Amino acid sequence: MITQDSIEALKARLDLVDVIGSYIELKKAGANYKAPCPFHDEKSPSFVVSPSKQIYHCFGCGAGGDSIKFVMEYEKLNYPEALEKLADSYNFSLTYTDNKHNKPRSQLMNKINEWYQKLLISRPTAVSYIKKRGIYESSVEKFGIGYAPDSSSTINYIKSLLFNMSEAVEMGIIGYDGERNFARFIERITFPIHSANGSLVGFGGRTISGHQAKYVNSPETALFNKSRLLYAYHHAKQSLHKTKEIIITEGYLDVIMLHQAGFTNAVATLGTALTAEHLPLLRKGEPKIIMAYDGDKAGRVAALKASKLLSASGFNGGVVIFGQDLDPADMVNNGNIEELANMFRSPKPFIEFVLEELISLYDLSNPKAKESCMLDAISYLKTLSPLLQEVYKSFLASRLGLNPSFIKLRQKTNLNSPILQKNSFKDIWELSLIKTTLEHPEFIEQILDVIDPSILQFHSQEFSLAISGHTNEPIIMAIAIDDSIKALKDDDALKAELIIFLTKHYERELKKINIQNSMSFEEKAFFIRKFRGKIAKLKRGQLVSFKE
Ligand code: ZN
């Protein structure tokens, strides 16, 4: 079991905005952050994250909780698995009550990585590959390039370290085919892959023995999610914050060679297209994005997809397409660095690129094809902001040789829908009282002395939940996170508000007595005196006990 102390220490290190922001895109909204809810299907964002309270809440489906709860729900993990996942991505070592777990999880990965690196220089074929590609020794060191030998050497090495083979399988170093274990990387140049904050999470490997798969990556593991990671991001981080630009390429070698040539803000996707899951990482530091793609068919298709995604998500930047046989790595190796710098200085803006690529797919001399092209382009333009739609409408019209009035666009639906639920009445005073009990539990006793949950007209159920400590209930979280509801700031404010509320309450009660038919005259007289007495006290500025 994980010790409670280390759970607390981990929690103290987590920032909810950072944790959730690494999964989905959050947009600042006042003191909070908002996003479309990842737990239910919706168009307008009702998912709110509060940095000050470190809780999230969805006003649509009621999902809510802290960092650990989010990771559990999002990744479908149980509590200890979520803790381990978070500990891994924050480079934090959990301690366990039993000893067998107490080996930090990343030790095996790091040991294997060091071993691969040592092996590199002892393999002439590996060394000659490195030389041929023009990779400097300093780059071999910076990127930790190594060499994975045959399968049995790797298995024997792990055994010699006394690591459990199942752990090596879990880390994606070793595979299991139902009968025997095998190394995932055999006779390959290895490129260690790190998370955004620099912990080793997997490997990429390029064959040097003519294996039919030129490149392989670690399989998806608890740590390795290739549609969220970017190769060398931890190396590029500083430079991209300084230059406010990031270059995204398609290959490990492109990245290594670009860094070698001084483009230290280069990263790569891991043999996959750019996905929406990459966007939170790309949003950090708000850099301009330069997509550097091959000019072949696959490269152009990937560039088109990425440009649609990035422009629709409001990113700034553009595309650089390389000639058929020259990728960035080759250009650096051939010394064409000035030419590269020029290309990166003037990328084709995403929206222009998308529209031109779309147009190039159609034969515009055919009116039918021209119409399809226009519809295709319009449906893309609709993913953009109204202003950009307007600007690019005439661009599209001129490219198609049409009058702009043919380009019919509808405005994007307004995303600023209120986060408050539609059909339930809200009494702001009662909600503010409930918020006060959440933010100042020390006032609860004093409040309960003069108020019973039953006298709240609209939110007595929420009030009962709040004062009994049910702060994980969705409705209570909704109140906690809603910044339009303010807690009373101190004792004096609380007293003043309670006096006003109670005066109104007893005046209402008094009226009710007067119209009561089922009470005897004596009973009525008793209650009338009682309520009048209370109201008089309240008017003198004294709080009256509920039970009195
Ligand atoms: Zn939801």
**Considering the domain boundaries, does residue 411 fall inside one?**
no
Question: 282, 236 in Cβ contact below 8 A?
Answer: no
For 329-337, what is the mean pLDDT? 93
Ligand 1 geometric centre to CA of 470 (Å): 20
- Same domain, residue pair 95 and 116: no
**Considering the domain boundaries, does residue 544 fall inside one?**
no
Ligand 1 geometric centre to CA of 475 (Å): 13
For 299-306, what is the mean pLDDT? 92
User: Residue 422: what pLDDT?
Assistant: 36
46 compared with 519, residue with greater pLDDT: 46
Ligand 1 geometric centre to CA of 454 (Å): 30
- Same domain, residue pair 199 and 237: no
pLDDT digits (tens, 9 = 90+) for 414-454: 333 333 333 346 788 899 999 999 998 889 888 988 988 88
Ligand 1 geometric centre to CA of 107 (Å): 38
- Same domain, residue pair 345 and 249: yes
**Considering the domain boundaries, does residue 224 fall inside one?**
no
333: confidence class by pLDDT, cuts 50, 70, 90: very high
Ligand 1 geometric centre to CA of 63 (Å): 6
**Considering the domain boundaries, does residue 414 fall inside one?**
no
Ligand 1 geometric centre to CA of 461 (Å): 22
Number of domains in the chain: 5
Q: Which residues contact 258 (CB under 8 A, 6 or more apart)?
A: 247, 249, 264, 266, 328, 329, 332, 340
User: Residue 383: what pLDDT?
Assistant: 83
User: Residue 245: what pLDDT?
Assistant: 96
Cα gap 36→24, rounded to integer Å:
9
- Same domain, residue pair 204 and 283: no
Ligand 1 geometric centre to CA of 278 (Å): 22
Q: What is the number of other CB atoms lying within 10 angstroms of the CB of residue 547?
A: 7
Ligand 1 geometric centre to CA of 68 (Å): 17
**Considering the domain boundaries, does residue 51 fall inside one?**
yes
Give, in degrees to the nearest 5, the angle at Cα 65 between 94 and 105: 20
Ligand 1 geometric centre to CA of 416 (Å): 16
- Same domain, residue pair 41 and 151: no
Could you tell me the pTM of the whole model? 0.63
**Considering the domain boundaries, does residue 546 fall inside one?**
no
**Considering the domain boundaries, does residue 547 fall inside one?**
no
User: Residue 508: what pLDDT?
Assistant: 87
Ligand 1 geometric centre to CA of 48 (Å): 10
- Same domain, residue pair 171 and 261: no
Ligand 1 geometric centre to CA of 519 (Å): 49
CATH number of the domain bearing residue 486: 1.10.860.10
Q: Which of 101, 132, 151 delimits the end of a domain?
A: 101
Ligand 1 geometric centre to CA of 435 (Å): 22
**Considering the domain boundaries, does residue 376 fall inside one?**
yes
The candidate with the shortest Cα–Cα distance to 339, out of 354, 352, 323, 357, is 323
CATH number of the domain bearing residue 117: 3.90.980.10
29: confidence class by pLDDT, cuts 50, 70, 90: confident
- Same domain, residue pair 428 and 523: yes
Ligand 1 geometric centre to CA of 66 (Å): 15
- Same domain, residue pair 33 and 124: no
Ligand 1 geometric centre to CA of 35 (Å): 10
- Same domain, residue pair 433 and 534: yes
409 compared with 301, residue with greater pLDDT: 301
| pLDDT above 70 (res 22) | yes
Cα gap 236→222, rounded to integer Å:
24
Ligand 1 geometric centre to CA of 282 (Å): 24
pLDDT digits (tens, 9 = 90+) for 131-150: 999 999 999 999 999 999 99
- Same domain, residue pair 244 and 347: yes
Ligand 1 geometric centre to CA of 413 (Å): 19
Q: For the residues of 129-141, what is the DSSP string, one character each?
A: HHHHTT--HHHHH
Q: Which of 45, 77, 101 delimits the end of a domain?
A: 101
Ligand 1 geometric centre to CA of 41 (Å): 7
Ligand 1 geometric centre to CA of 39 (Å): 5
- Same domain, residue pair 441 and 377: no
pLDDT digits (tens, 9 = 90+) for 59-110: 888 889 999 999 999 888 888 889 988 988 888 888 887 665 555 555 889 9
Give me the domain span that covers residue 381.
Answer: 361-406
Q: Which of 314, 330, 355 delimits the end of a domain?
A: 355
Ligand 1 geometric centre to CA of 64 (Å): 9
Ligand 1 geometric centre to CA of 19 (Å): 17
User: Residue 297: what pLDDT?
Assistant: 85
| Percent of the chain's residues with pLDDT above 70 | 95
Cα gap 441→408, rounded to integer Å:
57
- Same domain, residue pair 338 and 389: no
The chain-wide mean pLDDT, for the chain, equals: 88
Ligand 1 geometric centre to CA of 40 (Å): 5
Ligand 1 geometric centre to CA of 307 (Å): 29
